[in-house]
Structure 1
């Protein structure tokens, strides 16, 4: 039977997760576009929320049990509470402290974080004697910020510069073999040019300025918040321009499909037919409009003869 988790242990876990969030937040302030750090932070937010829910449920159950024990029906209520399943340590998500430690080590070795973060990392370093790479571990940092390493196979200790040290291949997988892998939320994917731009949404939670932040952290967050708002504004401008472009394309397409009114031109001549085409019939001629057709018919004119006597009788 699994051991139930009490409120005190949940509070300890919650404090640990919140401390881990602070560490990842410090990494994000230096590399806000790092997808790995974003994923770890998103997972930690879920862990903290779940732990808070479990803590609230446990505290409520403890309160109900204490109230019931003071009543006359204490045995019955206690039996019912004992039968109810309690949250266990197995229901909590696996710790992400190891992943955070590895991320800090990689940041330190790349020069993106404090050199002290690399202490304990399994690395490869150049030996000053022959300039070749050998397996080593970081055991400390000197005042200049250089790494103090111990070569694994020889036990020799040396001080090496950052460009003379690198992370050992497979060190992250070997170090995390005993800890369950934690899968954080997927980082947002970048859309192609022809796709609808993905909305930035709300500002990341790790950018919120906390009362416990020092002045340096506040300045970094303010700078990143300003950058985030600028991206939002440019995205809105892109959306408006895309809407205008779509409206113009729609107008052009509709205009191109309208039928043109017939009219104008020479009477009796088809516009699609060339005026130099030969009409049917033996009397048709090239280049004569309406050739092959009969001429307009007129009645025969008669000459009027003037008769004087006839005109006199009419008078």
Structure 2
């Protein structure tokens, strides 16, 4: 055990020394290293948001994994990246962007989406000044993963897009109708008015937080991450994402039924349990277990190959 810890300590020390040497290698590297130090001021605030979002059932950790996977892909291609050279115009543009990002840090410590935009500007400036515009053409996937991983307040943005192109309370009303239909199947006598499910002894409103949108967002991000990690083709990764969204919306119906019964008949403590963190985690565990094995079953499925064999 001591030997393992010693080796781990030596590896961390050698990595730190390597980063320090690279950061102090040239004026360009020192400038970028200073920019990274400035961006590190946001880290405590982001950790707080990640912990709080995870407790509330958001996809915070998954987004971190998405960005981390993007950076890991770039690290694997570091030898290829070392061959890219930025033009003088790209370097100047990159340095301007980095300077703007560093100068804006003291003014962006209170608003998360300001911080994320500043971080985007810094990363873009770093890529321009180090590798040039060609970097974005040659490495679109890592760029996309990092962009999505640091996207500011994705749930709020998703809600804005959804409500802009759908009828008012469309998803909430759909879930209320589906939940009421499920309650009828088990012998209850519900009625639905707009987004309210009414039983003889009480009523429950299906708000946005219980519409299944957040659950579908988490499933979509997880499906995208696993599809890329398993090196699946784009069409199959897209299928995984659609499956995750469909499973999430289907699984949200019994969740609505359960919370309705808990609110009307079982008391506030039972409702808070199923509506809160632990109840959400139970549903997430069931959902992702089913979805994970469904994706595994499709890993070797290739209808295009079967068609070629048949026609041949």
The TM-score, its normalising length taken from structure 2, stands at: 0.25
Larger radius of gyration between Structure 1 and Structure 2: 1
The TM-score, its normalising length taken from structure 1, stands at: 0.24
Whose strand fraction is larger, Structure 1's or Structure 2's?
Answer: 1
Higher relative contact order, chain-length normalized (CA < 8 Å, sep 6+): 2
